[in-house]
C-alpha cells in the first residue's frame, strides 16, 4: 500500500452513533471495533467505509470558467482528445443539416469579423497562424446558454456548435495546453477525461448545480424572460435568420430565454442579495437587490431571482457539523460596491477597470438562497473573501470543505480576461496548497463551470441514471490533485459536476441531494 495509507489508522463507522470517528483513531481501537463488528450478526450492520476516501481530511474545489476539454486538453497524451474525434464530429452543420462551407467568426453585430480569416470546416489552433491569437490576448466568448447547448450537442453528434453560436466558427478553436502551468499539474496527478458539466448552458446554472444539483425556480417570471420554443422544444429563430455561412443565428428569446416555459431559471439571472448586478432600491435595504429590478437602456427590467429554498451541499454539511466555506475573490469589495446608492456607477461588479477584480455576482450560488440571506449566522460563517482563503491555506486553517471562486479577472473566461492570468493564479494557489500543513490529507479538484460554448467531440452520457432534462452538458477539464491521488493518471470514469457532491456526501456521511445522478462516479477512481 502507498506510504500515505500505511502510516495512518483508517477511520471507522461508530455502530451506535453512525458517525465516522476521527481518521487518526489508534490502530488498536480499529482492530477492536473490527472484531466486534465481525462477531455481530445483525443484518443492519453498516458497510465498511472506503479507507481511501476517509484518508481525506480537506477537500478544496477550485472553479474556473468556460472552456471545454478539447479546447485546453485536446492534445494531452493518453487522453481521449482531438485525435479520437470522428470526421462526423469534426464537421459542423448549418441549421438545415447541411455541412458548412467554411468557418466564419462573427463579431458583436452578428456579421463576419474581418479581423479573422475564413477557416476550413474543422478544429483549428488558436495561437498559431492563420488565427494567431496568443493566450495572453482576450478572445471572443462563444454563446453558452441552456437551449443553445442542447442544439449544439445535437443528440451526441456535437456538430452544430458553430451554427448555434453568436461567434460562429470560433467555437472550433483550441490551444496547445502544454504551454500552461496547469498542464504540468495534470501530468503529475490525475486528469479526468470524461468529466461533463452538470447542466446544459452557462455559468449561472452550473454554479447552482455545483451546490445543490438543482435548478432554481422563478414561477412568477414575466413573459419577456421566458424562452420561446418551437414544437420540437428548440429555440425559435427569427424569420430570415441567416445561415451560419453568412452570419450569427437570430433568436426570438431575449437572453437565450432566462426561464423555461414552466418556470425554471436556466440562464443568467441576478441574485436577490448584494453583491448583485441589480442595485438596491432607492429607499430599500442596501444589502438587497431591488425586487422590481433595474432597466438597462430603457428596455425590460433586469429582475433578480426570488430567494431559493432548495437544500444545498452547505446545508447537508452543516447538518452533520462539518465546517465549510465558499471563498470568492473580491467578495468584500463587491459587497461594498453593491451596497452603494443605486444611481452610483459600480466599480467592482461587472467592471473592467484597471484596479477592478471584475466580480461576477452570478458566479456566487449561495447568495441566491434564503438560508444565506444578509443577517443570517450562516452567511457570516460560510461566505468569505478570497483573501481569507489564502490566509487559511498559509495557516493550515482550511475547513474540511472549501470552495474557491476566483474573481473574474482570474477565471480564464473569454471576452473579459485571458488564459495566462488565470492559469498563473490557480497554479500559484496549488503551490501554496502543496506547502500547506494540511496537504498530506488534502484532495484538490480543479475544474470549470462549463464549456463556454466551445466545441468538444465526446458525447455527454445520456439515458436513465446518466442524464435528465437538465444535463449533463459538454465535457470540461477536471484535475484531481493531492498526495492521495494517482500520479500521472488519466481517469476515464464518467463524471459530471454532481460527482463532487457525491464525493462529499460519501466522505462525510451526508444526506444525499436528490438531483445527483445515480450512475455518475464519485471521483474515488482517481484515488490510490
pLDDT per residue as tens digits for the range 126-155: 999 999 999 999 999 999 999 999 999 999
pLDDT of residue 50: 83
Give the 3-state secondary structure of residue 206. Answer: helix
Q: Which of 391, 210, 392, 228 is nearest to 312 (CA)?
A: 210
User: Exposed, middle or buried, 238 (CB in 10 Å: 0-12/13-18/19+)?
Assistant: exposed
pLDDT of residue 110: 95
Please name every residue paired with 448 in a beta bridge, in sequence order, or none if there are none.
64
195-216: average pLDDT? 98
Q: Which domains does the chain have, with CATH numbers?
A: 3-49 (no CATH), 54-76+175-213+305-526 (3.40.720.10)
What secondary structure letter does DSSP report for 128?
S
Q: Which of 131, 252, 260, 115 is nearest to 199 (CA)?
A: 260
Give the 3-state secondary structure of residue 111. Answer: coil
pLDDT of residue 296: 72
User: Exposed, middle or buried, 17 (CB in 10 Å: 0-12/13-18/19+)?
Assistant: exposed
d(CA 371, CA 368): 9
Predicted model pTM: 0.90
pLDDT at 39 over 70: no
pLDDT at 16 over 50: no
SS percent in the chain: helix, strand, coil, step 5: 30, 15, 55
Q: Which of 103, 310, 113 is nearest to 218 (CA)?
A: 310
d(CA 474, CA 147): 13
63-76 pLDDT per residue, tens: 999 999 999 999 99
pLDDT of residue 11: 35
C-alpha cell at 15: 455502530
pLDDT at 31 over 90: no
- CA 184 to chain CA centroid, Å, is 21
Quote the mean pLDDT of the chain: 91
Q: Which of 288, 280, 416 is nearest to 344 (CA)?
A: 280
Name the band, by pLDDT with cuts 50, 70 and 90, for residue 43.
very low
d(CA 482, CA 442): 6
268-277 pLDDT per residue, tens: 999 999 999 9
Taking the C-alpha atoms of 153, 159, 165 and 170 in order, what is their torsion angle to the nearest 10 degrees?
130
Backbone Cα Rg of the chain: 23
Q: What residues have CB less than 8 Å from 392, skipping those under 6 apart?
A: 325, 398, 399, 402
pLDDT of residue 295: 84
**Count of CB atoms situated within 10 Å of the CB of 432:** 14
The helix (run of H) or strand (run of E) holding residue 501 is helix 498-508
Q: Which of 482, 513, 478 is nearest to 495 (CA)?
A: 478
Q: What residues have CB less than 8 Å from 247, skipping those under 6 apart?
A: 106, 110, 111, 112, 168
pLDDT at 15 over 50: no
d(CA 211, CA 469): 18
pLDDT of residue 49: 58
pLDDT at 22 over 60: no
The pLDDT > 70 percentage for the chain reads 91
d(CA 285, CA 277): 15
317-339 pLDDT per residue, tens: 999 999 999 999 999 999 999 99
342-355: average pLDDT? 95
Q: What residues have CB less than 8 Å from 208, skipping those under 6 apart?
A: 199, 214, 215, 216, 365, 368
List helix spans (H) across 40-189. 51-54, 69-73, 87-90, 146-153, 181-188
Q: Check: CB of residue 67 under 8 Å from CB of residue 450.
A: no
Q: Which of 222, 88, 195 is nearest to 480 (CA)?
A: 195
pLDDT of residue 7: 28
pLDDT at 4 over 60: no
145: left (phi over 0), alpha (psi -120 to 50) or beta: beta
3-state secondary structure 453-491: CCCCCCCCCCCCCCCECCECCCECCEEEECCCECCCEEE
112-126 pLDDT per residue, tens: 999 999 999 999 999
C-alpha cell at 122: 474543422
Amino acid at each position: 500500500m502507498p506510504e500515505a495509507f500505511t502510516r495512518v489508522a483508517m477511520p471507522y463507522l461508530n455502530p451506535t452513533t453512525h458517525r465516522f470517528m476521527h481518521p487518526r483513531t489508534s490502530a488498536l481501537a480499529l482492530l477492536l471495533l473490527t472484531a466486534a463488528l465481525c462477531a455481530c450478526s445483525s443484518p443492519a450492520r453498516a458497510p465498511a467505509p472506503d479507507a481511501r476516501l476517509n484518508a481525506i481530511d480537506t477537500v478544496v474545489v477550485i472553479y474556473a470558467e468556460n472552456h471545454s476539454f478539447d479546447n485546453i486538453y485536446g492534445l494531452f497524451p493518453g487522453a481521449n482528445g482531438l485525435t479520437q474525434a470522428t470526421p462526423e464530429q469534426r464537421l459542423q452543420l448549418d441549421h438545415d443539416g447541411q455541412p458548412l462551407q467554411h468557418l466564419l467568426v462573427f463579431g458583436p453585430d452578428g456579421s463576419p469579423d474581418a479581423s479573422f480569416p475564413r477557416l476550413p470546416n474543422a478544429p483549428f489552433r488558436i495561437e498559431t497562424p492563420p488565427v494567431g491569437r496568443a493566450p495572453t490576448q482576450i478572445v471572443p466568448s462563444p454563446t453558452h446558454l441552456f437551449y443553445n447547448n442542447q442544439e449544439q450537442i445535437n443528440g451526441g453528434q456535437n456538430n452544430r456548435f458553430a451554427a448555434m453560436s453568436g461567434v460562429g466558427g470560433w467555437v472550433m478553436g483550441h490551444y496547445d495546453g502544454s504551454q500552461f502551468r496547469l498542464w504540468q499539474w495534470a501530468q503529475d496527478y490525475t486528469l479526468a477525461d470524461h468529466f461533463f458539466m452538470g447542466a446544459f448552458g452557462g455559468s449561472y446554472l452550473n454554479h447552482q448545480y455545483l451546490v445543490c444539483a438543482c435548478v432554481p425556480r422563478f414561477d412568477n417570471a414575466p413573459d419577456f424572460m421566458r424562452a420561446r420554443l418551437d414544437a420540437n422544444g428548440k429555440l425559435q429563430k427569427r424569420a430570415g435568420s441567416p445561415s451560419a455561412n453568412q452570419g450569427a443565428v437570430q433568436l426570438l428569446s431575449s437572453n437565450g430565454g432566462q426561464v423555461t416555459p414552466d418556470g425554471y431559471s436556466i440562464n443568467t439571472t441576478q441574485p436577490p442579495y448584494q453583491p448583485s448586478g441589480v442595485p438596491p432600491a432607492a429607499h430599500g435595504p442596501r444589502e438587497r437587490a431591488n425586487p422590481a429590478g433595474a432597466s438597462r437602456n430603457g428596455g425590460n427590467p433586469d429582475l433578480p431571482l426570488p430567494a431559493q429554498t432548495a437544500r444545498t451541499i452547505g446545508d447537508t454539511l452543516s447538518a452533520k457539523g462539518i465546517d465549510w466555506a465558499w471563498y470568492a475573490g473580491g467578495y468584500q469589495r463587491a459587497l461594498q460596491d453593491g451596497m452603494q446608492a443605486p444611481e452610483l456607477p459600480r466599480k467592482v461588479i461587472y467592471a473592467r477597470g484597471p484596479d477592478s477584480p471584475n466580480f461576477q455576482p452570478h458566479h456566487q450560488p449561495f447568495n441566491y438562497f434564503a438560508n444565506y440571506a444578509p443577517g443570517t449566522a450562516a452567511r457570516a460563517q460560510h461566505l468569505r473573501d478570497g483573501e481569507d482563503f489564502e490566509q487559511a491555506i498559509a495557516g493550515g486553517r482550511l475547513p474540511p470543505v472549501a470552495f474557491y471562486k476566483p474573481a473574474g479577472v482570474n477565471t480564464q473566461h473569454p471576452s473579459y480576461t485571458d488564459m495566462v492570468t488565470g492559469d498563473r493564479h490557480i497554479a500559484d494557489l496549488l503551490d501554496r496548497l502543496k506547502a500547506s500543513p494540511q496537504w498530506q490529507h488534502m484532495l484538490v479538484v480543479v475544474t470549470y463551470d462549463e464549456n463556454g460554448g466551445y466545441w468538444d467531440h465526446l458525447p455527454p452520457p445520456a439515458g436513465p441514471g446518466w442524464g435528465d432534462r437538465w444535463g449533463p452538458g459538454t465535457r470540461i477539464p477536471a484535475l484531481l490533485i493531492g498526495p492521495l491521488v494517482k500520479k500521472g493518471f488519466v481517469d476515464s470514469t464518467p463524471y459530471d459536476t454532481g460527482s463532487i457532491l457525491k464525493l462529499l456526501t460519501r466522505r462525510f456521511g451526508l444526506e444525499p441531494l436528490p438531483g445527483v445522478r445515480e450512475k455518475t462516479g464519485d471521483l474515488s477512481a482517481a484515488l490510490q
